[in-house]
Amino acid sequence: MLIDTHTHLDSPKFDEDRAEVIERAREAGVHKLINIGFNRETIPTTMALAEQYTFIYAAVGWHPVDSIDMQPGDLDWIASLCDHPKVVAIGEIGLDYHWDTSPKDVQQRVFREQIQLAKQKQKPIVIHNRDAHEDVVRLLREEGAQEVGGVMHCFSGSWETAKQCLDMNFYISFGGPLTFQNARVPKEVLAHVPIDRLLIETDAPYLTPHPYRGKRNESAFVRLVANTMAELTGKSVEEIAKITTENALKCFGM
């Protein structure tokens, strides 16, 4: 039994066959999924999925690339949704210095506000970090994020960065890139992360694992990530499924 800890099944890329995609995930042994609502458009569609399916849970937050669009009432909206029984985390939040859509100072302010909200609501946080490792770690530390911890989503940083995040009560989550033949750094990080801090995810419809790279990702493919993790750690797929499921249940309080 597997848990896809980060997916976007509300994406328009699934509009024509969403029910079938969800059924394939179930058939692949995925018994719980966490769908991520990250802006004004995707938070309502994420909540709708969580309310429609008993095994789909929600994380809600404001993505850094959309920080510039966040209005004063949006943080209150996220706060109110944190009281919903299916909302298990605030995310994905963080910093993204790759896409030039929101100024860095705005991203950092919105990130800080949501860490503070997570502490108020006692919810773990799901971190999006692209080309901003140093600032992400610094802001997490300055805001006392270790109080709630959370997930470093689809981790792409170095072992040194991973260690700093582990020290702040975060889990390290691996997705499709772990399966890529040229993915040297994620594989090196995986070799050092304690087994009780490992999570798996798809980020569907993005970051599709080998051998489907270049095609649309879906939650059933989290099994491919588990297979690769098993090979790299010398454990069975069943052991990886058990370990990552227990970790996800603990991390998200499910």
Stretch 191-201: mean pLDDT? 98
Backbone angles phi, psi at 5, to 5 degrees: -85, 0
Percentage of the chain surpassing pLDDT 70? Answer: 100
H runs (alpha helix) in the chain:
18-27, 42-52, 72-81, 104-121, 133-142, 159-166, 184-190, 222-233, 237-252
The torsion angles phi and psi of 15, rounded to 5 degrees, stand at: -60, -30
Q: Which residues pair with 151 in a beta bridge?
A: 126, 171
* Residue 122: per-residue pLDDT: 98
Residue 72 confidence class, pLDDT cut points 50, 70, 90: confident
Residue 238 has pLDDT above 90, yes or no: yes
Position 214 scores a pLDDT of 93
Q: Classify residue 97 by burial, with Cβ atoms within 10 Å: 0-12, 13-18, 19+.
A: middle
75: domain CATH number is: 3.20.20.140
Helix and strand counts by DSSP (H, E) for the chain: 9, 8
Question: Residues marked as binding?
Answer: 6, 8, 92, 128, 153, 203
Judged against a pLDDT cut of 90, whether residue 105 lies above it is answered with: yes
Task: Tell me the binding residues for a divalent metal cation.
Answer: 6, 8, 92, 128, 153, 203
Note the pTM of the prediction, 2 decimals. Answer: 0.96
How high does pLDDT run on average in the chain?
Answer: 97
User: Cβ distance 41 to 11 under 8 Å?
Assistant: no
Q: How many domains does the chain have?
A: 1
Q: Give the pLDDT band of residue 183 (cuts 50, 70, 90).
A: very high
Q: What is the tens place of the pLDDT at every residue in 9-51?
A: 999 999 999 999 999 999 999 999 999 999 999 999 999 999 9
SS (H, E, C) 61-83: CCCHHHHHHCCHHHHHHHHHHCC
Q: Determine the structural domain holding residue 236 and report its residue range.
A: 2-252
Rounded mean pLDDT, 117-128: 98
